[in-house]
Amino acid sequence: MPWRLLRFALAQKHPEPRMFTRHDELKSAYDVVIIGAGGHGLAAAYYLARDHGITNVCVLEKGYIGGGNTGRNTTIIRSNYLTPEGVKFYDESVRLWQDLSQDFDLNLFYSNRGHFTLAHTDAAMRTSRWRAEVNKHYGIESEVVGPDFVKKAAPMIDLSCGGHAPIMGGLYHAPGAVARHDAVAWGYGRGADMRGVEIHQRTEVTGIDVVGGKVTGVQTSRGRIATNKVLCAVAGSTPRILKMIDVRTPLYIHPLQAMVSEPVKPWLDPILVSGSLHIYISQSSRGELVMGASLDPYEVHSTRSTLDFPEGLSAHMLDMFPFLSNVKVMRQWAGMADMTPDFAPIMGKTPVEGFYLDAGWGTWGFKATPVCGKTMSWTVANDRNHELITGFTLDRFRDYALTGEKGAASVGH
């Protein structure tokens, strides 16, 4: 039992202050307004205050802290991407992740479990090799492995997948990890709050004032705020915000669903992803099996669940792990994934001066939370795109300079 828990036993009254100060009033002006108290918005607020000394900042959240995709995601963290831009960016994120619990003094359950992208076809093996080669080039642990290696890490797996999609091998990424998603938002939120940032929950942005191509203020459900800088970090709601300033992007919104089983005694250590079966699985520290699949195939701006999702996912899961037949699925849910044509994000400055965008995080943005906070706060503070995000700017669609992450991003998150 760690000593730091002792004070709880000794105290008369629960010796913990509020993590987030309650602010009853909005101020009439802020230096920076951040839309969205997901992980990304809060991380940007945290680094703005901590690294750039900008604390007259408010984060506006229409619901509650972490209630968007941050609190719905399956928390896979990895850096074995396909493009040099992606690999460098996510690698920096993984580096930040590793110290985050200590930085926050909050246990994020950052759990290094190892990550497999299983290949069932020649083509998937080729993509694995491509990724491994690019990853190693940038110093990231990543290698193509054979079926024996997979079997050793997950001895109970049916390598033949019921006989119709035998596993030929895959890509192994030792640093692959999971973390407790809500705690990430809370940790950034608390850290920002402690440094003077105001977080306003249940406050919806309804309009953005632009005069002569420059941001001058934000309209909210609780009144207007004057500001010259707005950072938009609203994932699945991005198109609605961009409509307010008439900026066009190729973003489209598809639902992404996930489900968990009842808790069972831990038996699965690594994170397993199968591109061919379109499924992935990890086991949480509560013993729940966290399972997901690919995007719903159509555009829908809603978080409804569908029945065919757990049906298809379970069918494929049992191909790989037939013995889960009696394990029960407890809950399913969905988030709205903001997808881009090249499976890379859209970050940085926009045609509207003072309006900064952090979007296009689709099915893969949780892992990027720390590095997004770092680079977006820098970009907002300096009014210049941080060098790590120059491959992700909105211009690339106009300029046909896409950053193709499809091969590494689609199911793998």
Partner 1 sequence: MRLPPKQGEWIDRNHPLRFRFEGRDYDGCAGDTIASALAANGVKVLGRSFKYHRPRGLMSVANHDVNAVMQWGGMPNVRADATPLVAGMDLTAVNTFGGVDKDKARILGWFSRFLPVGFYYKAFHSKRLFPLWEKMFRMTTGLGKVDFATPHLRTPKRYGFCDVLVIGAGTSGLSAALAAAEQGADVAIVDENAKPGGSTHGASELVARVVAHPRVRVITDTYAAGYYTDHWVPLIERGRMTKMRARAVVVASGGYEQPAVFRNNDLPGIMLASGAQRLIRRWSVKPAQRIVLLAANADAYLAAEDFLAAGIEIAAVVDLRDVVPEAQKSALAARRIPVHAGDCILEAIPTADGNSVASVRTKSGEITCDGVFVSVGWAPAAPLLYQAGTKMRYDDSVHQFVPEKLPDGAFACGRVNGIHTARSLDGERAGSAAAAHCGFGVDRAIFVPAETESPTHPWPIVAHPQGKNFLDFDEDLQVADLENAIQEGFDNIELMKRYSTVGMGPSQGKHSNMNALRVLARCTGSTPGEVGTTTARPFFHPVPMSHLAGRGFAPERRTPMHARHEAAGAVWMSAGVWQRPEYYAVSGQSRLDCIRGEADAVRNGVGLIDVGTLGKLEIRGPQAAEFLERVYISKYAGLKVGMTRYAVMCDESGVVIDDGVVARLAEDHFYFTTTTSGAALIYRELSRWNTIWKLDCGIVNLTGAMAAMNLAGPKAKAVLAGLTDVDLSLPYLAVREGMVCGVSARLMRVGFVGEWGVEIHVPFEHGAAVWDALMAAGKSAGIRPFGVEAQRLLRLEKGHIIIGQDTDGLTTPGEAALDWAVKLDKPFFVGQRSLQAIARKPRRQQLVGFMLPAEHTAEAPKECHLVIEDGEIAGRVTSIAWSPSLSRYIGLAYVRSDMATADRKFHIRLTGGTLVAARVAKTPFYDPENLRQKESA
Ligand X SMILES: Cc1cc2nc3c(=O)[nH]c(=O)nc-3n(C[C@H](O)[C@H](O)[C@H](O)COP(=O)(O)OP(=O)(O)OC[C@H]3O[C@@H](n4cnc5c(N)ncnc54)[C@H](O)[C@@H]3O)c2cc1C
For residue 106, the one-letter residue type is L
**What is the DSSP-derived secondary structure letter of residue 327?**
P
> Do residues 280 and 74 lie in contact, with contact meaning Cβ atoms separated by under 8 Å?
yes
Nearer of residues 73 and 379 to ligand X, judged by Cβ:
73
The token pair that represents 255 in the structure block: 């639902």
Check residue 237 for interaction with ligand X (CB under 6 A).
Answer: yes
Question: ∠ at Cα 180 (178, 186), nearest 5°?
Answer: 140
Q: Does residue 84 interact with partner 1 by CB under 8 A?
A: yes
107: partner contacted, choices ligand X, partner 1, none (Cβ within 5-8 A by kind) = partner 1
| Choice from 68, 71, 176, 354 touching partner 1 (CB under 8 A) | 71
Residues 6+ apart with CB under 8 A from 161: 120, 167, 277, 319, 320
Q: Residue 258 phi/psi, 5° resolution? A: -155, 170
**Cα separation of the two ends of the chain:** 35
Query: Using CB under 6 A, which of 205, 245, 251, 388 touches ligand X?
Result: 205
Task: Show the tokens assigned to 399.
Answer: 């300029």
Task: For the CB of residue 393, give the shortest distance to partner 1 in the complex, in Å.
Answer: 16
Residues of span 384-413 touching ligand X by CB under 6 A: 413
- Span from 16-24, 40-48, 232-240, 350-358 in contact with partner 1 (CB under 8 A): 16-24
Q: Please state whether beta strands 289-293 and 177-178 pair in parallel, antiparallel, or not at all (unpaired).
A: unpaired
Q: Are 60 and 34 in contact (CB under 8 A)?
A: yes
Mapped onto helix, strand or coil, the DSSP state of residue 142 is coil
Note whether 14 binds partner 1 by CB under 8 A: yes
Other beta carbons less than 10 A from residue 243's beta carbon:
11
Residue 270 has which token pair? 């690594």
* 132/234 with CB nearer ligand X: 234
Torsion of CA 343, 349, 352, 357, to 10 degrees: 50
Q: Site residues for partner 1, window 41-60 (CB under 8 A)?
A: none
Q: How far is the CB of 82 from partner 1 (least distance, A)?
A: 9
Of partner 1, ligand X, none, which one does residue 413 interact with (CB within 5 to 8 Å by kind)? ligand X
Question: Which of partner 1, ligand X, none lies near 390, with the C-beta cut-off 5 to 8 A by kind?
Answer: none
Stretch that binds ligand X, among 12-20, 67-75, 187-195, 307-315 (CB under 6 A): 67-75
The encoded tokens of residue 254 equal 């598809």
Residue 4 or 212 with smaller CB distance to partner 1: 4
- Is 22 a binder of partner 1 (CB under 8 A)? yes
User: CA 149 → CA 118, 130, 169, distances in Å?
Assistant: 11, 19, 8
Under rule CB under 8 A, residue 219 binds partner 1: no
Residue that has been written with the tokens 């919806």 in this structure: 204
Q: With CB cut-offs between 5 and 8 Å by kind, which of ligand X, partner 1, none does residue 412 bind?
A: none
Among 34, 35, 293, 408, interactor with ligand X by CB under 6 A = 35
Asked whether position 171 contacts partner 1 by CB under 8 A, the answer is no
User: Of these, 292, 370, 373, 391, which contacts ligand X (CB under 6 A)?
Assistant: 292
Interface contacts to ligand X, rule CB under 6 A: 35-41, 60-63, 67-70, 72-76, 204-205, 233-237, 241, 256, 258, 292, 335, 337, 361, 363-367, 413
